[in-house]
Amino acid sequence: MQLTHLTNARIVDGTQPEPTAPMTVVIEGDRIKQVSPTSGPPSLAPGSARLIDLKNRVLMPGLIDCHVHIVAVLASLGQNATLPDSLVMARSIRLQHDMLMRGFTTVRDVGGADHGQVVASNEGSVFGPRLIIAGKALSQSGGHCDFRGRFNAGPNHFETRLGALGRLCDGVPEIRRAAREEIKAGAQFIKLMANGGVASPTDPIHFLGFSQEEITAAVQEAEAASTYVAAHLYTDPAIRRAVECGVRSLEHCNLIQPATAQFAAERGAFAVPTLVTYDKLAEEGEALGLGAESVAKIDSVRHAGIGSLEVMQAAGLPMAFGTDLLGPMQRHQSEEFVIRARMLPAQTVIASATRIAARLCRMEELIGTVAPGAFADLIVVDGDPLRDLSLLTRQGAHMPLIVKGGEVVKHTPWH
């Protein structure tokens, strides 16, 4: 098995305020074999190993986005669910390719992707990030995955389509059955829609999704399968009761208050803010087919989002990186770094997309780190992102080298 030596690498992984001294990282197969100081001028790697001298460029773990929808190929999620599976898959392949070329070597899909897409990624049939999936998100009737309008009382005929982000279930027995079915079908965690949302037509932001008994049932089913529940949440009361019920991953959290943030931190929860999506929904959503009723809801959470970062940081609530962009807006994925940098130190923002995201995904020894035994998921950056996070934007323009599972997927020669 060929070895690859990356020499003179200055590692940035979110654990320190400055890049490390020059290091050598040895890759064997799909794993990192060794990390050690680079001493003296670069020398030939032993035997038939490949040597890549980074010449003091920054080396980072591959980035992790903990809130994506790889099947959301349209901004209108109602229309998205009506598309043929073949078209959704074809467009999803392009979305995944572009994510990898931005340096995202792992993404957590929080509603929509299926196990077939995981298999396709793992076997290399799709050129994209590692996938961690929730299967279909669970929503109550009239909740955030119910895209039927006011005058459509019939069944939701599209929830089994690949383009549907979720499925409807009401009452504890239906919740239990749905959770079990999603886990059986390959879901690695359960996603609940536990608050109103922007993209759905009939649920104002302040609506509470599901009863406490229903949320608790989902948590029990997840725990029985040795996993956890993530929940779509905006308002402080919704966040508080979700944490009380045992929800571990709190998505969005724009309207969270200090006491609830402290409570969530004490309970061992994680937050996944997704600020970039509100900016882009406000700018592009209507032109891309998002309904007027959805556009009108955006400002109710958009302006509070940036302040929520300060609230959660002060409470010690870990924040993982997330974006939640839809359709063509997914090209703005990396701009979340710059938005967070308005309120948080660069080291904290980088940690959100590396070690904190890995902890949320329960893969902290495998991803989000440059350490022996971890997957060789790595990116090289021209410049120091600890001083300029915009280096992580522009569709990977400042990333001359991207490695996923030991395979070089992008290499732009340097001098």
**Whether 25 and 76 share a structural domain:** no
CA 86 to the chain's CA centroid:
24
- pLDDT, tens digit (0-9, with 9 covering 90-100), for 54-100: 999 999 999 999 999 999 999 989 899 999 999 999 999 999 999 99
Q: Classify residue 253 as exposed, middle or buried by CB count within 10 Å of its CB (0-12, 13-18, 19+).
A: buried
Q: Both ends of the chain: CA-CA distance in Å?
A: 28
pLDDT of 291 over the 60 cut:
yes
Q: What pLDDT sits at residue 45? A: 62
**Whether 54 and 70 share a structural domain:** no
- Do residues 6 and 19 touch, judged by C-beta distance below 8 A? no
Domain encompassing residue 8: 3-61+368-411
Q: Give the DSSP letter of residue 128.
A: S
- Do residues 372 and 33 touch, judged by C-beta distance below 8 A? yes
**Whether 54 and 71 share a structural domain:** no
Predicted confidence band at 254 (pLDDT cuts at 50, 70, 90)? very high
- The residue that leads in pLDDT, 142 or 161, is 161
Distance CA 153, CA 193 (A): 20
pLDDT of 26 over the 80 cut:
yes
Above pLDDT 90, what percent of the chain?
A: 81
pLDDT of 388 over the 60 cut:
yes
**Whether 297 and 233 share a structural domain:** yes
What is the per-residue burial (b if ≥16 Cβ within 10 Å, else e) of 110-126? bbbbbbebbebbeeeeb
Q: What pLDDT sits at residue 48? A: 75
Question: Residue 13: which of 394, 309, 374 has the closest Cα?
Answer: 374
Above pLDDT 70, what percent of the chain?
A: 95
Distance CA 69, CA 329 (A): 12
Q: Which of 278, 311, 333 is the last residue of a domain?
A: 333
Specify the residue for token string 């010690």.
316
- pLDDT, tens digit (0-9, with 9 covering 90-100), for 125-149: 999 999 999 999 999 987 888 776 6
- Do residues 231 and 249 touch, judged by C-beta distance below 8 A? yes
Q: What pLDDT sits at residue 159? A: 83
Q: What pLDDT sits at residue 355? A: 98
Predicted confidence band at 156 (pLDDT cuts at 50, 70, 90)? low
Q: Which 3-state string (H, E, C) describes 322-387? A: CCCCCHHHHHHCCHHHHHHHCCCCHHHHHHHCCHHHHHHCCCCCCCCCCCCCCECCEEEECCCCCC
- Do residues 230 and 247 touch, judged by C-beta distance below 8 A? yes
Residue 224 belongs to a domain with what CATH number?
3.20.20.140
Q: What pLDDT sits at residue 303? A: 83
Mean pLDDT computed over every residue of the chain: 93
**Whether 210 and 247 share a structural domain:** yes
Q: What pLDDT sits at residue 145? A: 80
Contact residues for 90 (Cβ-Cβ < 8 A; gap 6+)? none
In a domain, 346, yes or no: no
- The residue that leads in pLDDT, 156 or 206, is 206
**Whether 72 and 18 share a structural domain:** no
- Do residues 64 and 375 touch, judged by C-beta distance below 8 A? no
Distance CA 349, CA 22 (A): 23
Q: What pLDDT sits at residue 221? A: 98
CA atoms within 13 A on the CB side of 229: 29
Residue 45 belongs to a domain with what CATH number?
2.30.40.10
Q: What pLDDT sits at residue 320? A: 98
Beta-strand ranges (E) seen in 218-295 are 229-235, 249-255, 270-272
Question: Residue 87: which of 345, 18, 95, 122 has the closest Cα?
Answer: 95
- pLDDT, tens digit (0-9, with 9 covering 90-100), for 342-368: 999 999 999 999 999 999 999 999 999
- The residue that leads in pLDDT, 44 or 236, is 236
In a domain, 355, yes or no: no
Distance CA 113, CA 165 (A): 8
- Do residues 32 and 371 touch, judged by C-beta distance below 8 A? yes
**Whether 328 and 376 share a structural domain:** no
**Whether 207 and 218 share a structural domain:** yes
- Do residues 410 and 101 touch, judged by C-beta distance below 8 A? yes
pLDDT of 199 over the 90 cut:
no
Predicted confidence band at 189 (pLDDT cuts at 50, 70, 90)? very high
In a domain, 49, yes or no: yes
pLDDT of 153 over the 70 cut:
no
Predicted confidence band at 282 (pLDDT cuts at 50, 70, 90)? confident
Query: What SS3 class is residue 204?
Result: coil
Amino acid identity, position 348: T
In a domain, 269, yes or no: yes
